[in-house]
Structure 1
């Protein structure tokens, strides 16, 4: 089953362990980025996964391509060109000290990717699903045009289109985000968000929830899901619910509203997570939801798969969710003890 994502893959340079930037004498190098993370997870689940992007022809660009190949993602539609791979630096927080990200991605090759460089007919031939995030259109006008062209081509090919809103205040303002993302929703079937994304990208708020604390107004989330679905005519709306007790301790669950099996939005199982690496947690939810909606029997099964998958990812260093379908299914079935498997 063919699935396609489009976006940026970056070089990730992380301080070892929980050291601070000012302490670091070396960095751990890997690769990651919203849509690339989704592509890898879907490949792990057995899908025919394609990542669309642009990377330089030099060795660092090739290293990023090789990293995707390692996990079964096709690079057939990665255009080679441009001068640089975007970089982000990560300092992993602990307890009451938050994690920090510093971007160095200006003029990355993907920001120059135009629709004319892609054979969109071939990209979406036989595709069942297309996924992008709000990060990619935040990279500039050229990237916005490419995302719109790809979404239109995907819809024309009969693929379901999903978008994880993923607001990034270091990339654009609320006003810029809404001016781009609200019209873009015309081409989206499945919207994935948290409370801040919905507010900053689409101008809809989730009740009295405190995004910087651990207070959730569940009724507000339910109402938000309904309003999003009604206003933008989405087939489904998924909202992740993160209770941030500290950088190391989070509550994790989600709501899904799709009208297929339930008249009202459904709430998932809630997981209490001791965080190892929360970067990529939302992407692992998105990939789990895509897999669930394509292959599970009903709304609740799809939601439970997505939440369990993203729970497991947050115990793994790096951007990618390197878990199998069987491991996710085991957690959904209730095997969350963490006992050694011998």
Structure 2
């Protein structure tokens, strides 16, 4: 089932706590991130999909598809790249010139958010440019997800939202709606009047407690007798009874509400209730406890969790709604373990937490949310490297420059970074990059020799997900895999490569690749049994010949100074460093950018 989500994404600014405040009292350190419910949902689903095996992905979870409108220019590129890096299908995102990206700024002192979206590309777009029959057509099963934000932004967005809704109804595509009323955009009565004609066709309507009460009070007075008394705890069954009466009255198939309470220490208790014709389903006996590191993003992740469950298990099985809600509760809580609207949670992490907390309350603080199972970790690394296309090799005499270059490459779209063990202060470089790069980026080490095999455990602890060698050090494969690090030994002949494959090497480095060339690799992999090998050429590979290696069947291509720059291989302040720096500024940076544009287009 492919989830198609239509809505606006914005640039979000939120104050950050820092050790030293700026001297200017009017200055404030802000976290810039990308937010927008529909994109958030797609990113959360794409993150879950990213570490699935290739065959699983093709069969069960097509890439989620975000439909939207962005301006041309750097801010539009910023938003677009956030979805692209996560693996979201954005083929139906329109780009138009002469408009803005909407922004919203968190104002904690006023306890509200300030929006600026009146002149956004999304608000101004021409609805006729979105061909909903094409977007929602095709042979694959689809699910349309939208929110109540979109039809309230502008007349144009209302028209596009309505066309999407009517096309989905015509094609009998399941629909989910997160009501998500925003007072800044208009009255609740207006939004409810937009929703009512379509509710009988909606599979899942998500409301907040506040919206549930406001709708009953303002629009459905016949249900007021079902409203619990003001001092009724959320845990009381009266809330489920109100939801069941509401669901039955408005003829929506399922109504969902997430409930949250927080104690004086800031520990939040989260559970959810779903009302359907089959009754009331809730996760009250298995709540999730956590301390959100970001107040945003949880609702989107909860919706993504429900859609993920429906995609995996079907949406016609009412008895599984409690399990679906639990799945969504956990994903929402885990999403809020990081700052920013976008979930960073992988399938392996979610499955690990679900396994540890099956059938009992969950406290996120007491669990290890990392991927502990060695096989799962290796599979996750394989999936990331497969999508990386290129492994950027940092071999540096200047550790600060290496860290800065690694982060700069990530901003361009790099998805895999190798820190060689002959880099000055490689431990620091590895640890800092592993801590700072986004979760979809894989960081590992290179130039591992026999003498380094005993420290593989330490390398893993510093954050390395893979380890490459120019040879096959003794005991290298087994020691790496014992600690959850993907071993990538090296060979040149088909006999050497196959021997390492037989002994458990999942990826093998072809070194020195320039001595063979793409034609030899293509010929080698044309022999049916040898196609089982995942070959990563390195040595003499460059942005100029990357496409030839990919076309030849390369799993991923390692590139050193030809990609990462010749400045960092020299000590800071040396003439060679300054010359390399000028080359990076004048040519290297642009070459790298263009390579990662190609990577993002080819390796989705």
Could you say whether these structures have the same fold, taking a TM-score greater than 0.5 normalized by the shorter chain as the test? yes
Among residues 295, 314, 317, which one is paired with 2:336 in the alignment? 314
Alpha-carbon spacing, 1:290–1:209, altered in 2? closer, same or farther (3 Å): farther
State whether structure 2 residue 261 is matched by structure 1 residue 258. Answer: no
2:125 paired residue number = 113
Task: Report the structure, 1 or 2, having the larger helix content.
Answer: 2
Equivalent pair of 1:56/1:83 in contact (CA under 8 Å): yes
Q: Residue 161 of structure 1 corresponds to which residue in structure 2?
A: 175
Which residue is 1:207 aligned to? Answer: 227
Tell me, in whole angstroms, the C-alpha distance in 2 between the residues paired with 1:192 and 1:13.
26
Tell me if structure 1 keeps the 8 A contact 2:40–2:342: yes
2:254 aligned to 233, 236, 245, which one? 236
Residue 273 of structure 1 corresponds to which residue in structure 2? 290
In the aligned structure 1, how far is the partner of 2:87 from the partner of 2:313? Answer: 22
Equivalence for 1:303? 325
CA distance in 2: counterparts of 1:246 and 1:142, whole angstroms: 45
Alpha-carbon shift at residue 157 of structure 1 (Å): 2.6
Q: Return 184-193 or 129-138, whichever deviates more.
A: 184-193
Aligned to 2:442: none
2:32 aligned residue (22, 29, 33):
29
CA distance in structure 1 between the partners assigned to 2:76 and 2:204 by the alignment: 31
Contact 1:288-1:307 within 8 A present in 2 as well: yes
Equivalences for residues 285-300 of structure 1 within 5 A: 285-296=302-313, 298-300=320-322
Retained in 2: the 8 A contact 1:14–1:27? Answer: yes
Segment drifting more, 219-228 vs 164-173: 219-228
- Find 1:84's aligned residue among 75, 83, 100: 100
Normalising by the residue count of structure 1, what TM-score does the alignment of the two structures yield?
A: 0.88
- Alignment partner, residue 404 of structure 2: none
SS in 1 for 2:356: coil
Relative to structure 1, is the Cα distance of residues 290 and 253 closer, same or farther in structure 2, using a 3 angstrom cutoff? Answer: same
Give the conservation status (yes or no) of the 8 Å contact 2:292–2:333: no
Q: Is the 8 A contact 1:51 1:74 kept in 2?
A: yes
| 8 Å CA contact retained: 1:113, 1:146 | no
Indicate yes or no: 2:350 matched with 1:328.
yes
The yes-or-no answer on 1:10 pairing with 2:28 is no
C-alpha displacement of 1:5? 0.2
Q: Evaluate the alpha carbon distance shift between residue 99 and residue 252 of structure 1 in structure 2; reply closer, same or farther with a 3 A threshold.
A: farther
What does the per-residue CA deviation read over 1:161-184, in whole Å, with 9 as the maximum and x for residues that have no partner?
A: 000111111221222222222234
Paired with 2:111 and 2:15, the residues of 1 have a C-alpha distance of 11
Q: What does residue range 41-190 of structure 1 map to in structure 2 within 5 Å?
A: 41-46=44-49, 47=61, 48-81=63-96, 83-91=99-107, 99-125=111-137, 126-190=140-204
User: Offset of 1:67 from its aligned partner?
Assistant: 1.0
Structure-2 separation of matches of 1:330 and 1:209? 40
Deviation at 1:333, TM superposition (A): 2.9
1:340 and 1:238, CA in 2 relative to 1: closer, same or farther beyond 3 A? closer
SS of equivalent residue, structure 1 residue 306: helix
- For the residues of structure 2 that align with 1:214 and 1:40, how far apart are their CA atoms? 36
Residue 148 of structure 1: how far off its partner (Å): 1.1
Corresponding position: 1:225 with 2:238: no
Structure 2: gaps spanning 5 or more residues: 50-60, 315-319, 358-363, 373-604
- Write the distance in 1 (CA, Å) between the matches of 2:26 and 2:232: 30
CA distance in 2, matches of 1:69, 1:9: 13
Separation (CA, whole Å) in 2 of partners of 1:270 and 1:138: 33
Gaps (5+ residues) in structure 1?
none
Name the CA distance, whole Å, in 1 between partners of 2:42 and 2:86: 9
Q: Please, what is the CA RMSD of the aligned residues?
A: 2.7
Is the CA contact (8 Å cut-off) linking 1:167 and 1:201 kept in structure 2?
no
Q: Which moved more, 1:70-79 or 1:198-207?
A: 198-207
Where 1:275 maps in the other structure, the secondary structure is coil
Q: TM-score, normalised by structure 2?
A: 0.51
